[in-house]
Amino acid sequence: MWHKSDRAQDEAVDHAACFAPGLMDPGRAAPGDVIATHGKGVVKRYNVYRNNVVVSLIDALAAVYPAVQRITGVDFFRAMARFHIRATPPASPLLFEYGRDFPAFIETYEYARDMPWLADTARIERAWLDAYHAADADALAAEALAAVPPEDLPTVRFVPHPAAAMVRSIYPAVSIFSMNRAEGPVTPLCSSEAEDALVTRPAHDVIVSRLPPGGAIFLARLLEGAPLAAAAADAFNQAAGFDLHANLAGMIEAGVFTRILHGDPPSCQPYQTGDNPLRAVPPG
């Protein structure tokens, strides 16, 4: 049996399908079924509402990517954000979730080509926000690793903290991020060397630090679920100057891990197949 409520719901869905797309496209006319009091000012009111929606999304992007906006300047950022919004409307009602693909958009944005490091700076900012909103968890204490018998160390695996993330870059992205995230003066970069970012939140504050040589290779393998010896071997083979003790101690101090797993992982652990049959899926 057809109910009035079902018909009203279908009509509401059809109306939304016509109403929403025009909010992101300034060239689209106001939907024909939009009405106003006494039938006056329909187009003008719709355009005002459309502009308010776009402005709110631009403001949301500016809140997530303040360093990017400081680098580009407000006018450049807001123009770039408008193009992104037209191409990628929000898929979630949560504004802080919007803009996850903004760094990828920046990479292809024609007018940002002379700032090739800008996208990686944006990726660090996105990782910062994700770390801020990540679930709380107790970080692994150094004493827990010290208590592992030496003969067991090569096979131990580490469970990543929900807030831990890594952003690899061929640019000095950590320095650029740090310099523009703060309110202090922007000074010339001392080096153009590549910098890989480690993002953590061991307590209440999000910390962004630079990984030492080989640290990104080492951490990537650990996050995949590789045992300590295998992760270290890859780092030694691919990065000159890799220091196992300094990297592992630094990661534990930064709160990258929550637990140590001994031996082969049990079947109940969240693992998935891939290049490494024991590739861990970091909590998200």
Cα atoms found within 13 Å of the Cα of residue 208, Cβ hemisphere only: 27
Rounded to two decimals, what is the model's pTM? 0.78
Measured at the CA of 263, the angle between CA 259 and CA 269, to 5 degrees, comes to: 60
Predicted local confidence at residue 266, as pLDDT = 43
Segment 53-88, tens digit of pLDDT: 889 999 999 999 999 999 999 999 999 999 999 889
pLDDT of residue 107: 96
Which pLDDT belongs to residue 265? 57
Going residue by residue through the chain (284 aa), what tens digit of pLDDT does each one get?
445 454 444 444 444 444 555 555 655 655 555 556 665 556 666 666 567 788 999 999 999 999 999 999 999 999 999 999 988 988 888 888 889 999 999 999 999 999 999 999 999 999 999 999 999 999 999 999 999 999 999 999 999 999 999 999 999 999 999 999 877 777 677 778 999 999 999 888 999 999 999 999 999 999 999 999 999 999 999 999 999 999 999 999 999 999 999 866 543 333 332 333 222 333 33
Give me 183's structure tokens. 């309110």
List helix spans (H) across the chain: 4-19, 21-24, 42-64, 66-72, 74-87, 102-108, 118-133, 142-146, 173-181, 215-223, 228-238, 244-254
Summarised one tens digit per residue, pLDDT across range 150-176 is: 999 999 999 999 999 999 999 999 999
Q: Cα(216)–Cα(4) distance, rounded to whole angstroms?
A: 59
Q: What is the pLDDT of residue 32?
A: 53
Identify the CA nearest to 248 among candidates 231, 265, 266, 225.
231
CA dist 238 and 232 (Å) reads 10
Q: Are 117 and 173 in contact (CB under 8 A)?
A: yes
Q: How far is it, in rounded angstroms, from Cα 249 to Cα 259?
A: 14
Of all helices (H) and strands (E), which one includes residue 92? none
Taking the C-alpha atoms of residue 180 and residue 64, their distance in angstroms, rounded to an integer, is 13
Task: Show the beta-strand stretches assigned E in 44-109.
Answer: none
User: Which residue is associated with the tokens 């691919």?
Assistant: 238
Domain locations in the chain?
1-114, 137-266
- DSSP reduced 3-state for 47: helix
pLDDT at 42: 61
Contacts of 76 by beta carbon, 8 Å cutoff, 6+ apart = 111
- Where b means 16+ CB within 10 Å and e means fewer, 90-106 reads beeeeeeebbeebbebb
Place of tokens 């107790």: 138
137-266 maps to CATH 3.30.2010: no
Q: What is the pLDDT of residue 15?
A: 44
pLDDT of residue 38: 60
Helical H segments across 202-283, by residue range: 215-223, 228-238, 244-254
Residue 275 carries which side chain, given as an amino acid letter? D
